[in-house]
Amino acid sequence: MESILREGKNCWCLKRADKVAFLVDAAAYFDAFARSALQARESILITGWDIDSRIRLFPGKEMNGHPSILFEFLKHLVKREKKLNVHLLEWDFAVIYAFERQLFSDFKIPWKRNRRIHFHMDSEHPIGGSHHQKVVVLDDRMAFVGGIDLTVSRWDTPEHRPHDPRRINPSGEHYGPFHDVQLALEGQAASALGDLMRTRWERATGERLGVPERAGGEIWPRNLSPDLEDVRVAIVRTDPAHKGREEVREVEALYLDTIAAARRFIYMENQYLTSMSVGKALASSLEKSDGPEIVVVLRVSSDWLEETTLGNLRAGLLDHLRRADVHGRLRVYYPHVPHLQEKVLNVHSKVMVADGAFVRVGSSNLTNRSMGVDTECDIALESSGEQRIEKGIAGIMNRLLAEHLHVSPQEIQSTLERTGSLIECIEELRGSGRTLLPFPHEEVSWKTEFLPDVVDPVEPIDPDKLMDEFLPEDVAQRGGHRLRRFIILLAALLALAAVWRWTPLSGWADPDTLMALGAQLKDNGMAPALVLSAYVLGSLIMFPVTVLIVATAITFGPASGFLYSLTGCVLAAMTTYGLGKALGRETVSRLAGSRVNRLSRKLGRHGVVAVVTVRIIPIAPFTIINMFAGASHIRFRDFLLGTVLGMTPGIAAVTLFGHQLVAAIREPGWKSFAILGLILVLMVSAVFLVKAKWFSRSDESRTHR
C-alpha cells in the first residue's frame, strides 16, 4: 500500500510516539487513564463531548486506596501533587441532550469547589455544531485519543456480558454493553496534542495555559503493554469555520485518500454511516473491478431520535452502496450478543484499517457532521513497509474481530492467511452465539430528502443561509416593505436571544432568580394565568424557553409544572405562528421563488412529522421556528399536533429531571430515582404510542396514494 499521510493535506502533523497501545473498551481505557494520571505532576487536560463527575473509573472497587469516583479521584490527585492543575473542557450541549447528561453542570458538578480543578463548558462552535473531540493529555508526555468520553454508560469489558452488574450509572440504572476503542500514546505526539488542547482552552475561555515542564519519571502504566514502539503518528482534525477561522477538513481528506489507496481490504467500525463524501468514495471503490473488499461493522439500532434521523440517512446510503456493489465485495454487519433481550451491543468505536498497513482511531463518525461541522481528533499511522508495524496493525484488527466473533485473535489471523480474504474469514468464523450478523435492509424513508441539512449538515449552519431557505434572494428583491419588516423582525428577535445570553439581562434568566420569583408566585390565585402569560411574552422577546420550563418544574412540582410548561409552550407557539402568518405568509406564498415554495409544500405535505422533526432537532430558536411555520404551507392543525408530539418528551424530561434534581439534593436516596424512572416510563411510553399510531397512519396513507 502506498504512503497516504501528508502534513497539511490530510493530517495536521506527523509526530514521533515512543509507545502506542490500542485500548479496546472503556474498562481498559479508564484503568490506563487512572494509572497514568497518578503519575502526572503538573498538568491534566481533558476535553470531551460529555464529562460526568459521578462516574466510576473502576466499578465496584478502589485501586490501591485511590477513589473510584471521577471527581473524588481528580481531587485526590491535586491534593497529592501541589503543582498539579486539572483543566476540563466540555461541549456546551444542545438542550435535546439534557436528559442524557449531568444537568446544570455549572451549578451541580462540583468542579468549581477546588481552585486547581478548572471546568468550562465550551460554546465556541458554529450553529448546529458540537465539540466532539475526546482527548486527555498528561504533562504533555502521555495522551489518550479515541471515541470514549469520561461519562456515563461507557464502562464495559470486551466480554460484554449480557447482565454485568458493574455496568450501572450513577442514577442506579443498568445499561447495555458498550464497545469502543481508545488509543494511548507517549512522546512528541502527546506534546502536540497538548498544544491542540491549550488552543481549545484559550479559544473557549480567553485564558492562555502554560506549557508544562518535561518532568522525569515513568508515566506509562506498568501493566499496559504497548502494541507499537517508536512510530510516527498523524494527528487528524476537523475544525469548522467559525469567527473568521478557516475550516480544517483533514478527517474527511484522510478517509477519501485511504479509500482511494486501498487495494486488498478496508475494515471499518463506526457508530454511524451517513457521510455523503465517504459514501461516494466507497461506492466508487465498489464499482471498480479490481477494488478492495469493504467490511463495515455498525450499531444496529439506537433510540427513537437517532433511528428517525441518522437511521434514515444510513438506510439511504446503505441502499446506494449495495446497488454499487456489482462485484460482491461489500459486507455490512452488526455484533450480536445473545440474551440481551431489548438491549443491543452499542458500537461506538471509530476505527479504520486498510490493507493491514494503515490504521486510524479517533472521535470521527462516518457522518457529514464529523467531516466539517463538529470538532474531531483522530490518530492515524501507516507501516511504510515495516513488518513490525504491520504486525501491530494486524493485531488490533484481529482483536476486534475476535471480540465480535467470539474466537481468539490467533484464529482470526490463521483463517485470514489461509483464505486470503477478509470476507471469507468472517463468513467462515460466524457462529450461532455471539457473532457478527448481516446488517438488516432498511426502508428508505422520505425524510432522507431534507434531513441531511438539518441533523447531519455538510457544513456549519449559516444563519444567513438558514434565512435563505425560507426567504431566498428573489424574494428579497421583490418582497417590498412587508418582507423587509419580516426580516427586520427576525433579526431583532435573534438579537434579543443574544441579549438574554450575553448581557446583564442574563441574570434574570438565572434559575435561582426565577425560582425566587416562582416561590412568591406559587400561592397567588392568578398563578396559572401569570405563568402562561410569561411563556407567551417570553416567546415574543426571545426569553430562553428551557429556563422557563426548569423554573416552572421546580416551583410547581412535576405534574403541575409539566402541564403549565406544555400549555405555555403550545400557547406561545400558537401566538408566534400567528405572528409569522400575519407578517409573512402572504408575502412568502406570493413572492417566494420555486425553491421556497417546494420546501414549504414538502413540509406541508408531511406536516405533523416535519414539525415533530424540527421540534426535536434544534435548528433555530423556538420563536423563529414558529414564525417560519406560520409563513409556510404547514397547516395550523398539523403545526399544533406536531408541536405537542415533538415537545412533550423534551418538556417531560427537563421538567421531571429538574424537580427530581432538587428532591435528590434535599433528600438523596434511591427512592427519588425510582419515582423518576416510573413516571418517565409511563409518560414516554404514552408519547411513543401516540407517535407510533400516527406514523403508522401516515405510512398507510402514503401507501394508498
10-residue stretch averages of pLDDT, the chain, 705 residues long: 94 98 98 96 96 88 84 94 95 57 50 82 86 97 98 96 93 93 97 98 96 85 97 98 94 98 98 96 97 96 63 89 97 95 90 98 96 97 97 98 97 97 98 94 62 70 52 42 46 45 46 54 69 81 69 74 86 83 53 39 55 57 67 74 79 68 52 56 52 44 40
CA 660 to chain centre: 25
Helix (H) or strand (E) holding 456: none
What nine digits make up the cell of 590? 406570493
Q: What is the pLDDT of residue 319?
A: 94
Task: List, as own/partner pairs, every contact residues 515-523 make where C-beta atoms lie below 8 angstroms and the sequence separation is at least 24, other chains included.
Answer: 515/551, 515/554, 515/555, 517/551, 518/551, 518/552, 518/554, 518/555, 518/556, 519/555, 521/555, 522/555, 522/556
Q: Are 414 and 384 contacting, i.e. CB atoms less than 8 angstroms apart?
A: no
C-alpha distances in angstroms, 683 versus 546, 640, 652, 686, 688?
19, 19, 8, 5, 9
DSSP codes joined into one string, 310-327: HHHHHHHHHHHHHHH-TT
Q: What is the pLDDT of residue 566?
A: 87
The residues near 492 (Cβ < 8 Å, ≥ 6 apart) are none
What is the DSSP-derived secondary structure letter of residue 378?
Answer: E
CATH code matching the domain that covers 235-447, chosen among 3.40.220.10, 3.30.930.10, 3.30.870.10, 3.30.70.870: 3.30.870.10
The residues near 565 (Cβ < 8 Å, ≥ 6 apart) are 535, 548, 549, 552, 553, 651, 655
Residues of the chain with CATH 3.30.870.10: 17-230, 235-447
* Residue whose entry in the numeric block shows the C-alpha cell 426548569: 550
CA 361 to chain centre: 17
C-alpha distances in angstroms, 245 versus 124, 233, 264, 462?
12, 25, 39, 14
Task: List, as own/partner pairs, every contact residues 201-207 make where C-beta atoms lie below 8 angstroms and the sequence separation is at least 24, other chains included.
Answer: 201/45, 201/87, 201/89, 201/120, 203/122, 203/124, 204/89, 204/120, 204/122, 204/123, 204/124, 205/120
Q: Are 403 and 157 contacting, i.e. CB atoms less than 8 angstroms apart?
A: no
The phi, psi pair for 143, rounded to 5°, reads -145, 155
Task: List, as own/partner pairs, every contact residues 463-470 make where C-beta atoms lie below 8 angstroms and the sequence separation is at least 24, other chains included.
Answer: 463/127, 463/494, 466/127, 466/619, 466/620, 469/596, 469/599, 470/588, 470/596, 470/599, 470/600, 470/628, 470/631, 470/632
In whole angstroms, give the CA distance from residue 518 to residue 514.
Answer: 6
Between helix 409-419 and helix 422-429 the angle, nearest 10°, is 130
The phi, psi pair for 479, rounded to 5°, reads -80, -20
Q: Looking at this protein, which amino acid is placed at residue 85?
A: N
In whole angstroms, give the CA distance from residue 391 to residue 21.
Answer: 13
Q: What is the 3-state secondary structure (H, E, C) of 92-151?
A: CCCHHHHHHCCCCHHHHCHHHHCCCEEEEEECCCCCCCCECCCEEEECCCEEEEECCCCC
What is the DSSP-derived secondary structure letter of residue 269?
Answer: E
3-state DSSP: the chain helix, strand, coil percent, rounded to 5? 50, 15, 30
Q: What is the pLDDT of residue 217?
A: 82
What nine digits make up the cell of 87? 483543566
| Strand 135-138 with 117-122, pairing | unpaired
Q: In DSSP terms, which residues pair with 437 in a beta bridge?
A: 334
DSSP codes joined into one string, 549-560: HHHHHHHH-HHH
Q: What is the pLDDT of residue 696?
A: 47
Q: The domain 17-230: what is its CATH number?
A: 3.30.870.10
In whole angstroms, give the CA distance from residue 616 to residue 649.
Answer: 9
Q: What is the pLDDT of residue 157?
A: 97
pTM comes to 0.70
Helix (H) or strand (E) holding 426: helix 422-429
CA 408 to chain centre: 32
The residues near 243 (Cβ < 8 Å, ≥ 6 apart) are 124
